[in-house]
Amino acid sequence: MKVLKFGGTSVGSPARMKKLLDIINPQERQIVVLSAMSGTTNNLVEIGQAYLAGDKAKAANLIQILKEKYEGIIKELYSKDEFYEQAKGVIDHHFGLLSSLANDLFTTIEDKIILAQGELLSTTLYHIYLKEIGVPSVLLPALDFMKTDEDSEPVVDYITSHLTPRLDKHPEVNLFITQGFICRNSFGEIDNLRRGGSDYTASLIGAGIRSEEVQIWTDIDGMHNNDPRIVSNTKPIAQLSFDEAAELAYFGAKILHPQSVFPAQKYKIPVRLLNTMDPQAAGTLITNTSEKDKIKSIAAKDDITAIKIHSSRMLLAHGFLRRVFEVFERYRTSIDMITTSEVAVSLTIDDTTYLGEITKELAAFGTVEVDVNHTIICVVGDFAAEKNGYAARVLDAIKHVPVRMISYGGSDHNLSLLVKTEEKTEVLRSLHSRLF
Ligand code: ASP
Ligand code: MG
């Protein structure tokens, strides 16, 4: 049984929703995971922020604008009164709920409830559409089987034990529709898998039911070998390993939620990235294996802060790095890149929430320097194929650009560079022309 996930743009308008049946084959048993319609989650975030700020009038106004948008959508989506009326009831219910939160004490619990409405709306409206056109389907509430534990980690076994019986209950139905992104946390409250989390949902379901394949349908034909917004002549990558895909997704390739790679990897479920606008295009296939002897792709991640700790005490000392890392651990800040010399260590973070506290504590070890506005450029490929001198080619391609950090050898398939963000375009283009 395959799992197909459609992102916000793929369900972004009534016309798009209707086109999904060009891709979904109702003769095949499958689970369809939908995101919220594009823009909706952002709008819901704003509504939450307005409530949080105590600005109920603003929240009410934003709710009204979004509701009117959905009223327009359902006028276009359905042609029969019966189904239009059902959808109208659904909209009234969800927007009524959003409005009613004005009466509650507003905490993160209410905020998560708000964010969940986008996926609840898109799936319910699509399910009603399928009913109107006579395609049998079952709407499976993700909140019944998608669950995270005390560490906010999704529980695959829970998905298996709670989703499988729900599928078995409908042996005659092929099409199951469910929400991406949303889940219940360990307290049973409504929660989510963080922004872009619908990919993660699809991969988790794929793992939970040991699916034959997970398909992520977006609006680009797979993962590209460089950022198409910056470099021309980028090409989709035919094949990636899970490790390579995770690296690229984490270091900037926006097409895939980075965590979504891991459940599929663990249970060896192939993941295909495909394009709704061009369903015949091959896209990218992510599996356990990778083509040898190739540079696969270049990705860039902005808003990186570099921190250098310079200390003569580091010389010949043991335990120094542990004490440095512990500071970051205390502030739940993850480190992306790290390079060391005998007297200094440099590392990068992207979450600067606790930068002030962190640098203050690090000052106890030595002098601390902070460089903001940097970009990690990540080159992914078979660097173990030494004879090709890929590392040398990478460095040669950027010899005219100052490089703040280089990380090589952490794995066989990655070389990362830290440069000033203002150099990013030049670095991406220069690497592209030298490597591909
Ligand atoms: N709707 C959620 C978001 O915009 C989840 C997703 O689309 O993957 O972040
Ligand atoms: Mg996405």
Q: In this structure, are 208 and 318 located in the same domain?
A: no
pLDDT the model gives residue 251: 84
Q: In this structure, are 328 and 191 located in the same domain?
A: no
**Distance (Å, rounded) from C-alpha 111 to C-alpha 96?**
15
Expressed in angstroms and rounded, the spacing between residue 112 Cα and the centre of ligand 1 is 13
CATH number of residue 358's parent domain? 3.30.2130.10
Q: In this structure, are 190 and 303 located in the same domain?
A: no
For the chain, the domain total comes to 2
How do strand 2-6 and strand 30-34 relate by DSSP bridges?
parallel
Q: Are 163 and 208 in contact (CB under 8 A)?
A: yes
Q: Is 242 exposed, middle or buried (0-12, 13-18, 19+ CB in 10 A)?
A: buried
Q: In this structure, are 9 and 155 located in the same domain?
A: yes
pLDDT the model gives residue 312: 78
If we measure between CA atoms, which residue out of 242, 239, 290, 246 comes closest to residue 265? 242
Residue 339 within a domain: yes
Which structural domain, as residue segments, surrounds residue 354?
296-435
Q: Are 76 and 50 in contact (CB under 8 A)?
A: no
Residue 173 within a domain: yes
Q: In this structure, are 153 and 29 located in the same domain?
A: yes
Query: Which mutation among 5, 35, 203 tests ligand 1's pocket best, with the greatest number of atoms within 8 A of CB?
Result: 35
Whether 35 lines ligand 1, by a CB cut-off of 6 Å, is: yes
Expressed in angstroms and rounded, the spacing between residue 385 Cα and the centre of ligand 2 is 33
Q: In this structure, are 207 and 323 located in the same domain?
A: no
Expressed in angstroms and rounded, the spacing between residue 386 Cα and the centre of ligand 2 is 35
Q: Are 114 and 47 in contact (CB under 8 A)?
A: yes
pLDDT the model gives residue 315: 67
Residue 122 within a domain: yes
**Helical spans, DSSP H, in 209-354:** 242-250, 261-266, 320-330
Q: In this structure, are 12 and 120 located in the same domain?
A: yes
pLDDT the model gives residue 254: 77
Residue 146 within a domain: yes
Q: Are 389 and 398 in contact (CB under 8 A)?
A: no
pLDDT the model gives residue 103: 84
The most distant pair of C-alpha atoms in the chain lies apart, rounded to whole Å, by: 78
CATH number of residue 61's parent domain? 3.40.1160.10
Long-range contacts of 406-413 (CB under 8 A, 24+ apart): 406/339, 407/337, 407/338, 407/339, 408/383, 411/243, 411/247, 412/382, 412/383, 412/384, 413/241, 413/243, 413/244, 413/247, 413/290, 413/296, 413/380, 413/381, 413/382, 413/383, 413/384
Expressed in angstroms and rounded, the spacing between residue 383 Cα and the centre of ligand 2 is 29
Expressed in angstroms and rounded, the spacing between residue 197 Cα and the centre of ligand 1 is 6
Q: What are the tokens at 221?
A: 């034909």
**Distance (Å, rounded) from C-alpha 114 to C-alpha 41?**
9
Give ion ligand 2 contacts, CB < 5 A.
7, 196
Q: What is the pLDDT along the chain (436 residues), one digit of tens a residue?
A: 999 999 999 999 999 999 999 999 999 999 999 999 999 999 999 999 999 999 999 999 999 999 999 999 999 999 999 999 999 999 999 999 999 999 878 889 999 999 999 999 999 999 999 999 999 999 999 999 999 999 999 999 999 999 999 999 999 999 999 999 999 999 999 999 999 999 999 999 999 999 999 999 998 899 999 999 999 999 999 999 999 999 898 887 778 898 999 999 999 999 999 999 999 999 999 999 888 888 999 999 999 999 999 987 766 678 888 999 999 999 999 999 999 988 899 999 999 999 999 999 999 999 999 999 999 999 999 888 767 789 999 999 999 999 999 999 888 899 999 999 999 999 999 999 999 9
**Distance (Å, rounded) from C-alpha 229 to C-alpha 319?**
44
**Distance (Å, rounded) from C-alpha 203 to C-alpha 213?**
9
Sign of CA dihedral 34, 39, 45, 47: negative
Count, in order, helices (H) and strands (E) of the chain: 13, 16
In ligand 1, which atom is closest to the CA atom of 35? 7
pLDDT the model gives residue 316: 67
Residue 249 within a domain: no
Q: In this structure, are 194 and 321 located in the same domain?
A: no
Residue 273 within a domain: no
Q: In this structure, are 300 and 423 located in the same domain?
A: yes
**Ligand closest to the CA atom of residue 200:** 1
Q: Which helix (H) or strand (E) holds 92?
A: helix 81-100
Q: In this structure, are 137 and 6 located in the same domain?
A: yes
Residue 242 within a domain: no
Nearest-CA residue for ligand 1 atom 6 is 196
Whether 118 lines ligand 1, by a CB cut-off of 6 Å, is: yes
Last residue of one domain, picked from the residues 149, 183, 218: 218
Last residue of one domain, picked from the residues 191, 218, 245: 218
Residue 258 within a domain: no
Q: pTM for the full model?
A: 0.91
Q: In this structure, are 300 and 406 located in the same domain?
A: yes
Q: In this structure, are 38 and 176 located in the same domain?
A: yes
Nearest-CA residue for ligand 1 atom 8 is 196
Last residue of one domain, picked from the residues 181, 202, 218: 218
